[in-house]
Structure 1
Amino acid sequence: MRRDSRGTAEVGARGRADPDTGLLGVIGALYLAQGISFGLVTEALPTLLRAGGVSLDLVALVPLATLPWMVKVFWAPVVDNRGSRRFGRRRGWILPTQGLLVVALLAVAAMPINAQGAVAIIALLAVASLAACTQDIATDGLAAERLGRPRMALANSLQVGGMVGGLLMGGAGMMVLSDWIGAAAGLSVMAGLIALTAVPVLVWREPPPPVEREAGSARLRTFFRSRRGWALAAIALVFANGHAVSTALARLFLVDQDWALARIGLVIGSGTAVAILLGAAMAGPLVRAIGAVPTAVAGLTVSMIGPAVWFLAADGAGPVPTWLAGAATLGGGLGEGLSSVAVFTLAFRFAHDGRQAGTDITMVQCLHGVGGMVMVGLTTALVARSGYAWGFGVALGCALLAAAVLLSTRRTCEPDRFSLSPPVIDEALDEHALPQSHGSSG
């Protein structure tokens, strides 16, 4: 096995404890914390505010609290360029932001969940989102820098699994808790769970940076100074659009089919989350066996089951049975889990080979979010004029386009598997890559 000069994948083979194992526990806990906070902001709090008598006009402002997740790329270079000498370059960001997240959620718990407290709650949720997404930048950078290449697929399975699992806890779990013990107590429990996820970070000691870096070296434009960066940007913009469009339209379609909201939430919401978790669990071993690009293409192929089934349902007559909606949800979610882990494994490898891991991963995440948001908006407008069948047809087309982009860029994104000759850095263009002594293959 080729040794990665910055990874630690071979340490266990030498008879010593593998530090990647402890680091994976740290990373998994942090992704779970991010998922819990995101579920609270996007699912639980809008529902709780509405149940508390808050007007729909105010509830409609809650999504603004997630704005930091959309624009976090603009301060990602600061997280890469600054760190604490005492606590560690990444740990020095993770611990304070984790603390701020807990404090913000406890402050929300202390507020009345009604019209009088709504504005303050939305502001506090924005603070919580700012803390969580900044922690995410540092966590992604930590994973990409420290983990050996063989562990990156597993790390991305933990990322997807932790985020989706946390989303279920912070969304559906919080709403169940609020029924049992009240909203304030439920929020306190969630804050306590997030605080517990900081324990692995507290006991872990971050080694010195793995690469000597120039002060202030991280820049957004550096991401685009390599063909590999441009290829990843194209993939990020398109790979999840088919599933995003299909899932968003499926909810609206079932509302128009007179499905109860609880039934839609169970079949589409919870069903999608469970299917993505299953797909993410399968993706790690598959990436190791056949590669990231083939796994992503396989995931996109499976995900086409979802929009294909919805297309047939929308083009036909009569009500949609639960089993059919469940089959579409299972296929779409499984494929999304597979393709997400595979694509972000490519992104983590790219970041691992450069000097600005947090910035590089964050750029891919933000492009991914922007692509889905734009396509969902455009396709929803199309459905209003042409009907649901056209919208689900667009979702199928998005998945086919994503597969084509992945296949056409496979040698650039995964050169160690698809290059006809050993990878050669393009000196004139690839300013992102480290010197050869640090390992630059993809």
Structure 2
Amino acid sequence: MTTQPLPDRRSQFIALGLMYFAQGLPGGLAFNALGVLIRDGGHSVSDVGLTGLAFLPWALKFLWAGPIENWCARRSYAYVIGATQWLAIVLCLLLSYFPPSTELYLCVAGAVALNLVCATQDIVTNAYAVARMQGRTAGAANAIQVTAFIGGMLAGGGGLLVVHQHWGWTVAVQLMAGLMLLLYLPLLLGKRWRRVPAAADGATPAGPVGRVRLRDLREHRDLGWALFIAVLFKCAGTAVAVLLQPWLIDHGLSVAQAGGLQVSNLVANAVGGVLIGIPLIRRLGDRGAVAASLTGVTLLLGTAWCLQWAQVSDTRVIFAAFAVQSLAEGAMYVSVWTLFMNWASPRRPGTDYTVMQCCESLSNAIAAAAIGGLGQALGYGRAFGLAWAVAGVALLGIVWSLRRLDGAVR
């Protein structure tokens, strides 16, 4: 019997890291930098809520996940990755000519378009990851996903703010386009990560089988519980993170300091994912790790409320407090997405996993759009407190739902 050469795990991990890093760049721009620049450009706190529109492609990509996965089956993962990456580079170059200070709506529209392309690419990356790394390697794969995506958000968010402070919008965004190109070159030239492993006798092939359809998701008996978890686990945290951006400026921090805090938080996310998330999964399993990490995150989500109530202005205390919160969030990300990677059907790897991501992104979009108006109407303290209370209620519902999942038993 003739067998194909197996792609080595290292090449797969490197490819995943490059893909997720590139996809994190526009996410960091939209979710971590744009709100700061909108407020710094003289626009209102409610205008910061426009950044919630950039969540929509990530929330709605399940609508085209099936056709994209079928396209990958006809061509290849590498082909679709390449097409979307080149388009993202072009859009990034165009966006560099529309600064948020003077072209607010065109800038937001460009950020939405850029995130649309990268969200589409994420469908492909998810399919590749689930098809090849379900099971015992899922924890490591999701640690790479979280760490690399956070690295991209760090560069596209806080890193962009630091560059913007010195050289302005145009240079900062064009440098981001150049980074996207550099990230793609190893994927373009590499061959090992593209190889499709031959399925062993009786095993499920590593990829979609037959035509992928969204309605086939109903085959999961525990679909409702999985959707409930995906919708609730991050919405309160997103609301706090979005409102934190104008709060930092109004609290006296400069754009560069706000960017530095974003960098610090994202580094802590990555460290928490690797050093806390993976050991939790190995010790407690998927569901136990989700429950434990989410409990820690919920307790720490009151950090912003406490700082506002105590009127803390020492930047060292602010950095340290949010670093601790971010460590717990990193562990939560790895735990939750390992849960959903192992839950996804091998027959629809990209679509099942993408639907869960979309549920998270949809709730993120709603939370981001709503929190700006709530912050304007209630003030920072009450808005932060409301988000904290919502997180407590969500924790109780998620712990209840975890016990009813059929698929996540690893």
Q: Give the TM-score range, shorter chain.
A: 0.7 to 0.9
1:98 correspondence with 2:85: yes
- Give the structure-1-normalised TM-score: 0.75
Instruction: Determine which of 250, 257, 266 is the counterpart of 1:273.
Output: 266
- Residue correspondences, number: 395
Task: Give distance in 1, aligned partners of 2:233 and 2:108.
Answer: 31
Q: Choose 330-339 or 175-184, whichever is displaced more.
A: 175-184
Q: Give 1:363's aligned residue.
A: 355
Q: Are the counterparts in 2 of residues 141 and 357 from structure 1 also a CA contact under 8 Å?
A: yes
Q: Choose 280-289 or 63-72, whichever is displaced more.
A: 63-72
1:326 correspondence with 2:312: no
The structure-2 alpha-carbon separation of the partners of 1:50 and 1:276, relative to structure 1 and needing over 3 Å to count, comes to closer
1:214 correspondence with 2:207: no
Q: Are the counterparts in 2 of residues 240 and 340 from structure 1 also a CA contact under 8 Å?
A: no
1:372 correspondence with 2:364: yes
Q: Give 2:200's aligned residue.
A: none
1:306 correspondence with 2:300: yes
Superposed, 1:286-301 pairs within 5 Å as 286-301=280-295
Task: Give distance in 2, aligned partners of 1:332 and 1:269.
Answer: 13
Cα distance, 1:397 vs structure 2 = 3.5
Q: Give 2:137's aligned residue.
A: 151
Task: Give distance in 1, aligned partners of 2:30 and 2:380.
Answer: 29
Instruction: Determine which of 161, 170, 177 is the counterpart of 1:191.
Output: 177
Q: Are the counterparts in 1 of residues 158 and 261 from structure 2 also a CA contact under 8 Å?
A: no
Instruction: Determine which of 163, 174, 178 is the counterpart of 2:149.
Output: 163
The structure-2 alpha-carbon separation of the partners of 1:370 and 1:91, relative to structure 1 and needing over 3 Å to count, comes to same
Cα distance, 1:150 vs structure 2 = 1.4
Superposed, 1:126-145 pairs within 5 Å as 126-145=112-131
Q: Are the counterparts in 2 of residues 302 and 334 from structure 1 also a CA contact under 8 Å?
A: no
Task: Give distance in 2, aligned partners of 1:64 and 1:228.
Answer: 30
Task: Give distance in 1, aligned partners of 2:288 and 2:305.
Answer: 26
Task: Give distance in 2, aligned partners of 1:325 and 1:116.
Answer: 31
- Give the structure-2-normalised TM-score: 0.80
Q: Give 2:59's aligned residue.
A: 70
Quick one: which amino acid aligns to residue 100 of structure 1? Answer: L
Quick one: which amino acid aligns to residue 289 of structure 2? Answer: T
Quick one: which amino acid aligns to residue 239 of structure 2? Answer: V
Cα distance, 1:100 vs structure 2 = 0.9
Task: Give distance in 2, aligned partners of 1:143 and 1:163.
Answer: 14
CA displacement, residues 295-330 of structure 1 (integer Å, 9 cap, x when unaligned): 2222223223433444444555x5454454334312
The structure-2 alpha-carbon separation of the partners of 1:404 and 1:354, relative to structure 1 and needing over 3 Å to count, comes to farther
Q: Give 2:202's aligned residue.
A: none
Task: Give distance in 2, aligned partners of 1:172 and 1:49.
Answer: 14
Q: For structure 1, which runs of at least 5 residues remain unmatched after alignment? A: 1-15, 418-441
Instruction: Determine which of 11, 22, 40 is the counterpart of 1:22.
Output: 11
The structure-2 alpha-carbon separation of the partners of 1:166 and 1:115, relative to structure 1 and needing over 3 Å to count, comes to closer
Task: Give distance in 2, aligned partners of 1:349 and 1:132.
Answer: 23
SS of 1:26's partner is: helix
Instruction: Determine which of 214, 232, 242 is the counterpart of 1:238.
Output: 232
CA RMSD of superposed structures (Å): 3.7
Task: Give distance in 1, aligned partners of 2:318 and 2:48.
Answer: 29
CA displacement, residues 366-420 of structure 1 (integer Å, 9 cap, x when unaligned): 2112223434566666666666555444444334334333432334437664xxx
Task: Give distance in 1, aligned partners of 2:337 and 2:208.
Answer: 25
Larger Rg: 1
Q: Are the counterparts in 2 of residues 267 and 329 from structure 1 also a CA contact under 8 Å?
A: no
Task: Give distance in 2, aligned partners of 1:206 and 1:18.
Answer: 6
The structure-2 alpha-carbon separation of the partners of 1:137 and 1:212, relative to structure 1 and needing over 3 Å to count, comes to closer
Looking at both structures, which has the greater relative contact order when contacts are Cα pairs under 8 Å and sequence separation is at least 6?
A: 2
Q: Choose 140-149 or 173-182, whichever is displaced more.
A: 173-182
CA displacement, residues 161-180 of structure 1 (integer Å, 9 cap, x when unaligned): 11221112122323444555
Q: Give 2:23's aligned residue.
A: 34
Q: For structure 2, which runs of at least 5 residues remain unmatched after alignment? A: 198-204
SS of 2:326's partner is: helix
Task: Give distance in 1, aligned partners of 2:179 and 2:143.
Answer: 21
Cα distance, 1:101 vs structure 2 = 0.9
The structure-2 alpha-carbon separation of the partners of 1:173 and 1:374, relative to structure 1 and needing over 3 Å to count, comes to closer
Q: Give 1:341's aligned residue.
A: 334
Quick one: which amino acid aligns to residue 79 of structure 1? Answer: I
Cα distance, 1:145 vs structure 2 = 1.0
Percent of aligned pairs with the same amino acid? 27
